[in-house]
Amino acid sequence: MRERLREYMAKRRQQDPDYCQNRQPHVWDDQRRDGYHRRKAIKKGASTGRPVLLTEIASRDDWTCGICEGHVDHGLIWPDPLSPSLDHILPLSLGGPHDPDNVQLAHLRCNVRKGAKVSMPYRGGGVLPLHTGSKPGI
């Protein structure tokens, strides 16, 4: 079976060299992205139930990256490194809530580079209460 599939794919690639390479990129819409983060957050008991929508966060943040403070182009889509993404200021993996107050707009590149670290707060000021060991917003 695997042999036949391999033969088929080889033949298909000869006929059309772009086969499997010209598909639409995986498109995230607002609801899908929110559902993904919400499921992740629920698993960690961190969801507040308030919707976090990229377009809302982006207009609130004036299309400015919360990490590098550069402009974020809303015309770019994933996986472009400069495409908009949602950055959890206090990461979900560190107990941060999935809530609009804990989310900022960031370039995908900046967000990936940041990883599961706490963002330096450019907005709102103050320091996140990491040292207290308590989860903010709860």
Residue ranges binding Zn ion (CB under 5 A): 65, 67-68, 70, 107, 110
- Minimum CB separation from Zn ion for residue 55, in Å? 18
Q: By C-alpha distance, which of 58, 133, 53 is closest to 94?
A: 133
Letter for the amino acid at 58? A
- Minimum CB separation from Zn ion for residue 121, in Å? 15
CA dist 124 and 108 (Å) reads 22
Between 68 and 76, whose beta carbon lies closer to Zn ion?
Answer: 68
Between 87 and 99, whose beta carbon lies closer to Zn ion?
Answer: 87
- For Zn ion, the nearest residue by Cβ is 65
Q: Please give the backbone phi and psi of residue 45, each rounded to the nearest 5 degrees, phi first.
A: 70, 30
